[in-house]
Amino acid sequence: MNLEDQVRNMILGSSRPPPPGLQRPADPNTFNRGGSQQQRRQLYQPNANPVPPRGPQRHGQPQWRQLQASYLDSIAAAELSRVEMTQDEREDKETFRKAIEDVCIDVCNADPKRLSKVSLQCFGSFQSGFASAGSDMDLVIVVQDSDASACFSLLENDLPRALEKRLLQVGHGARLLSRTRVPIIKVCQAPGMSLLSKLRQEREKWDDLDLDKKCFDLHLKKEREEDIEDDLGLPMISPPSPSAQTATAPDSTLPQPTKSSPDRVDTTSKPRREPWKRERTSGALDFPKDGVGIQCDINFFNPLGIHNTQLLRCYSFCDPRVRPIVLFVKAWAKKRHINSSYSGTLSSYGYVLMVLHYLTNIARPAVLPNLQQPWRPNPDCTPQSADITSVDDFTVDFWRREAEISGAAAAGQLTPNRQSIGSLLAGFFTYYSSQGGYPQFHWMNEVISVRTPGGLMSKQDKGWVKAVTEEGEGKKVQHRYLFCVEDPFELSHNVARTVTHAGIVAIRDEFRRAWRILRARGNGEFATGYDGELMDAFIEQERPEAKVKGFDIKDAEIWPTLGAPKGI
């Protein structure tokens, strides 16, 4: 049965009663988190008493929720058929992976004394099953000899530089990102001659440097590298910017529209900063989205990424609704331009963890078990800690037996929840909008933690209350805690650390927009006015003139998240 048929069956729902004995009691503390009601309303409930949608209750579910679910079911069925990756595309990408792996092997064989034998493995959404059509592949270099060093330098003869050069020689687009926590090469299959020429020229400039300048360049490189994350939240590093937070900058508030004086704003004494955009302007060496064949990122050290991928893959086997919901949320975030850690919003990996948190801890009954907890559906399943391992001093322990999970899911042992995809999506958007009732996610106080019972921690408990800047080897790493999503294994890593002030405003505003659209649908209103339809593509607005009465220049920097003030 293909995905479209599965989605159609889920939309129609199921009349099967829950399997006996599977209704697990709700956590009594689930709905009692996040501080006082007064604290929550200060930032996240400007409409302290939102008006619930109208309509009677029918068949155990309010009619307004049925209308919302029906609306989401219809657009999900259409959207999922567009974003589903075909088998042909999967095979083409696997063929390209093998071709790149052959290049890696050739480079290592050319200098066996210096370079260890390696393989090139796939991780991320392509491997977990959450990849959309046309998405990039995430690849990782794996050293075959367990006794060999897995540390790759940026010196000329080490693997990152040697592989970049060889890829350019054989005609692929390749660009080494050096201002990152670990080296990463961005690769495209078939760059045009213009782009390939620019990439080769950039590499030749580095080759022509004297050795001492190359070493100096490793620390004081002036190239523009973005603050990005890969598909599994591997943080990159960027140079400090004037708007970056300092080590003592509190995260206790989010940016709000400022009230300006009635006079015009004088900007002659200060240089005008470029307005923030949800989607950054591409540079001369950036790969275009289309027309260059398959694209991938080669990571030179990310052992936890393989285990993260396996965890997400196992969650996809727990219930057939998980994958369609993840694909829909990723498609929505992409259309609304809030899924780019390049630009200060959230990576796709972050949205996957948000979905898993909701389905595990907030949906009632729970759709998913917590695979990092001891619970198993029957005594024949592998117990907790049977497959425990340690990676870079981080403990990796979860229920990872795919056959056992699939068998339990097929037998109806993992959940009594029979909601449709649309109903679950309606609850997901409502929860993160913090607008439409209880429970709500409290952005200012809470950390999403899929490994913990209940799925939430406080920022205070994690110590994630202030931005921190780490310096070393000529690099500065910004750890932001405006929005907090804990990595399931690397507990010190905030997957949402790339989210900036303007980014979290945009993300939160999009969830509120989604809730307003769903509220209108719940009220039987088919015209949603200014908000449009849920899956409408976001259009970046023009920057307003700063010298306008009643408008502050600071508002222009987050203009795309605010909309036009009155009088502009």
Are the C-beta atoms of 476 and 240 separated by less than 8 Å?
yes
Residue 45: predicted pLDDT: 36
CA–centroid distance for 458 within its chain: 21
SS (H, E, C) 134-192: CCCEEEEEEECCCCCCCCCCCCCCCHHHHHHHHHHHCCCEEEEECCECCCEEEEECCCC
Residue 158: predicted pLDDT: 87
Beta-sheet strand order (sheet of 484-485): 456-458, 446-448, 484-485
Domain ranges, ordered by start, for the chain:
538-568
Tens of pLDDT, residues 282-331: 888 999 989 999 999 999 888 899 999 999 999 999 999 999 999 999 99
Q: Please name which of 472, 96, 128 lies closest in space to residue 297, comparing C-alpha atoms.
A: 96
Q: Any bridge partners for residue 10, and if so which? A: none
- The model's pTM is 0.79
Would you mind telling me the total number of residues written for the chain in this entry? 568
Q: Please name which of 494, 501, 394, 473 lies closest in space to residue 180, comparing C-alpha atoms.
A: 473
Structure tokens at 25: 């009691």
Q: Please name which of 469, 444, 477 lies closest in space to residue 459, comparing C-alpha atoms.
A: 444
Q: Please name which of 164, 174, 189 lies closest in space to residue 98, comparing C-alpha atoms.
A: 189
Eight-class DSSP state of 558: T
Phi/psi at 57 (5° precision): -95, 140
Q: Please name which of 184, 90, 206 lies closest in space to residue 140, comparing C-alpha atoms.
A: 184
User: Using a CB cutoff of 8 Å and minimum separation of 24, what contacts does 483-486 make?
Assistant: 483/346, 483/443, 483/507, 484/446, 484/447, 484/448, 484/459, 485/346, 485/350, 485/353, 485/354, 485/447, 485/448, 486/447, 486/448, 486/449, 486/450, 486/451, 486/457, 486/462
| Nearest 10 degrees: Cα torsion 99, 101, 105, 107 | 80
Task: Give the Cα separation of 70 and 126 in Å (integer).
Answer: 30
Residue 154: predicted pLDDT: 76
Phi/psi at 249 (5° precision): -75, 120
- How many separate helices (H) and strands (E) can be counted in the chain? 17, 14
Task: Give the Cα separation of 34 and 201 in Å (integer).
Answer: 54
Residue 303: predicted pLDDT: 84
Structure tokens at 207: 């080759």
Task: Give the Cα separation of 194 and 507 in Å (integer).
Answer: 36
Q: What is the SS3 assignment for 517?
A: helix
Q: What is the CA radius of gyration of the chain?
A: 25
CA–centroid distance for 336 within its chain: 14
What is the number of alpha carbons within 13 Å of residue 18 lying toward its C-beta? 15
What is the number of alpha carbons within 13 Å of residue 481 lying toward its C-beta? 26
Task: Give the Cα separation of 58 and 201 in Å (integer).
Answer: 67
pLDDT means over runs of 10, the chain (568 residues) = 57 42 39 36 37 46 91 96 94 97 94 89 94 94 72 79 96 90 90 96 91 60 43 45 38 43 46 76 88 95 91 98 98 96 92 98 97 96 95 94 97 96 97 88 97 97 90 71 97 94 96 95 81 92 51 44 37
Q: Any bridge partners for residue 458, and if so which? A: 446
Q: What is the SS3 assignment for 273?
A: coil
Angle at 187 between CA 197 and CA 489, to 5 degrees: 150
Structure tokens at 462: 């994690």
Structure tokens at 34: 């996040």
Task: Give the Cα separation of 304 and 106 in Å (integer).
Answer: 26
Task: Give the Cα separation of 19 and 22 in Å (integer).
Answer: 6
